[in-house]
Structures are given as structure tokens and as C-alpha cells.
Amino acid sequence: MTDILPFLKSLISVSGLSGHEAPVARLIEEKWRPLVDEMSLSRVGSLHGLKKGSGKSLRPSVMIATHMDAIGLRVSKIVDGFLHITNIGGIDVRVLPGAQVIVHATGSEGEELPAVIAMPPQRFLPESVGDGVVGISYLLVDTGLTPRTVERKVRVGDLISFSNEPFELAGEVVSGHTLDNRASVAALTVCLEELQNKPHVWDVWAVATVQEETGFLGAYSSAFMLRPQIAIVVDGTFAKGPSANSWQTHPLGKGVGLCIGPNMHPFLHQKLKELAERLEIPWFLDVTPAHSGTDAFPIQITNEGIPTALVEFPIRYMHTPVESVSIKDIQRVGRLLAEFVASLNADFVDTIIWE
Ligand SMILES: [Zn+2]
């Protein structure tokens, strides 16, 4: 199996905030192009890679969806050369002060301005803020430029993305921003690489969706457009970590998460579980009571309904600049996806039953 870490690192070094995914889409397209038969973009910017199966014409297809968008920030106001910010997607405001960021300055042809997020000293904050978490409206982004230069280069509405470099912790764990969900894109890439030497009857749609973090635009629209017979979504789930309870979290580096709940088709779940056991890929059960909060929901309810499964990897410190994942888990997800695709017979759809 190829080492996916270098590609994963490059994936999180490229911006692609929700609604502005083009930079990362270009990188993924370059990587996937030699691994698939056709590449295209949906009308809203999701990336579609088609790897054709060996079956006769009118082949069934499986869509494997990984969202490529990232949470981030946007300039909401400029005061005395400092930038006030608002969020794109669900950001954990507690970890913003001290973060390294890049301001994508449209007044200066998209120049990337390095900056830091700063919190005013408590004595300068209103008394009502107290000792608690300082709200996003009080945080400031400092580029180090003079107020006049900032006014010239930066516009209200400009994007701000995290810029801390990914780095490796002990135990094959990589830490950085945007591992939700670029780690899934990496896993899908592992799957495509494995499928180069693995015959499969079904067509595979490798899809990198847009705007999962802000309303599932890519998942809805790509599922509607591609009309796959079944779908698998890959996303992160909460890993065990400091102060995390043990019943809602899962150990990092110990395997693949297979989700059950009304958003997942029980038959597909069963098949993935049996396959993981046969291949001795460690897995854990993740129980979601309703909407999984992932692309699995919009895909499941598109067209006449699409049987959908959710495959996960544990992630620590979700939606912070130091998200952490195990490379082993990412490789395992990729391998399980490839083996699942290869296991699909021409008549698999007819065997799908509700229990
Ligand atoms: Zn995600």
C-alpha cells in the first residue's frame, strides 16, 4: 500500500473553505486524473471521478463521497488596521486566539497575507465578557501591516484560512487543521490506488463534495446528478481524548468506524462489517440516533432514496487547528472501500433487503 501521508499533508496545505473549494479541487483533480477514466466538475464545483467497471453497459454505480470543503473565517469589519471576523461553518471559538492564519486579500489580487488571531487583554474587554470564552466578535486578526495598507489590500468579505503546517505526533498520528475532511479524501485516494490492480464490475464515482460544513450542497446535487445505486460516505467521528467520555468516542488508531442508525442502510452496514471481519480490518460500531450530520443524510434522501453507508475514522479535537488522525486508520478505510467495491456483483442491488 502506498504511503498516503505526503498527499494528505499537501491536501491540508491548500485552502478550500466552504463555498470556495477550487484550490483544493485542483490538487485532488491532479492526483485522481491518472487513477480514473473521466474527471469532471459538477455545476456547483464538486469533483467527480469516474472509474469504469468491467461489467457490460448499463453498469450499476457506487458513489463514494468525501467532502473537501473546510471550516474557516471571513473578514466582517476592518477597524484601525485590525480585521474583525465571522465564521464559515462550525468553528470552536475557544481555540481561535493564537491561531496562525492566512488572509486571502482580494484588494491585492488574492495575495496571501500571514496573520495571527489575537484576543485583546481582558482589561480592554467589556465587563460583561467576564472570565468565560471570549466571543468571536471580540477577536481580531493582525497582519502586522499599517492601517492604510490593510485598507488598500483587504476587503470586508475576504476569506481567512488556518495556516499552521501539519506535523507528525508519535504513533503515526498526524495533527493539523482541516483533517476533517481531507483525511477522507486521502482515504478515497487510497481506495482508487488499490482499485488499479483489483477488478471491479461496478462503476465507481469518486466524489469530493463542496459545502458539507455549511449545508450539504455538494452531496445533494452530486447524488441527484449521478444517481448511483448505492453510496458510501466517509467522514470523521470523535476519537477518545482528554475529557471525552468513553461511550460517545472511539480509540484513535484502532480501526474503522461503521455507523448504524436511521441514516444508514442496515444491509450495507452488514456487508461492510462482514467484509471488515473477513479481511481482519479492525472496526468499531458508531451509533447515531438520527441525521448523522454528514453527507450521508442528503445522499440518502436524494432521488427515490439511495441506500447509503457511513464509514468513519476517529479524529481528535474536531473543528480545531490541531485535529489529529491516525494514518493507519486512513489506510484501513481506503482498503475497506476498495475491497467493498471489488466485492459488488452485477446483481448486488437486487439482493438489498431491509431487515
Ligand atoms: Zn466532516
CA–centroid distance, 279 to ligand 1, in Å, is 26
The CA-based angle 302-304-309, given to 5 degrees, is: 60
What is the pLDDT, as a whole number, of residue 272? 98
Compute the distance from residue 180 Cα to the ligand 1 centre, in Å.
5
Cis (ω within 30 of 0) for the bond into 181? yes
pTM over 0.85: yes
Find all residues with CB under 8 Å of 146, minimum gap 6, and list them.
Answer: 81
For residue 119, the one-letter residue type is M
Q: Cα(350) to centroid of ligand 1, in Å?
A: 31
- Report CA(154)–ligand 1 centroid distance (Å): 29
Residues by chain with Cβ below 5 Å of ion ligand 1: 180-181, 235
Please give the distance, rounded to the nearest whole angstrom, from the Cα atom of residue 151 to the centre of ligand 1. 34
Residue 14, CB-side half-sphere exposure with 13 Å CA sphere:
19
CA of 188 to the centre of ligand 1 (A): 14
Low-confidence ranges of the chain (pLDDT < 70): 243-244, 246-247, 355
pLDDT digits (tens, 9 = 90+) for 219-249: 999 999 999 999 999 999 887 777 667 667 7
Q: What is the pLDDT of residues 128-167, one digit of tens each?
A: 877 788 899 999 999 999 999 999 999 999 999 999 999 9
How remote is the CA of residue 310 from the centroid of ligand 1, in Å?
A: 12
Query: 214-226: per-residue pLDDT in tens?
Result: 999 999 999 999 9
- Give me ligand 1 centre to Cα 124, in Å: 36
pLDDT at 355: 67
The whole-number pLDDT of residue 246 equals 67
Give the residue from 245, 217, 223 showing the smallest Cα distance to 89.
217
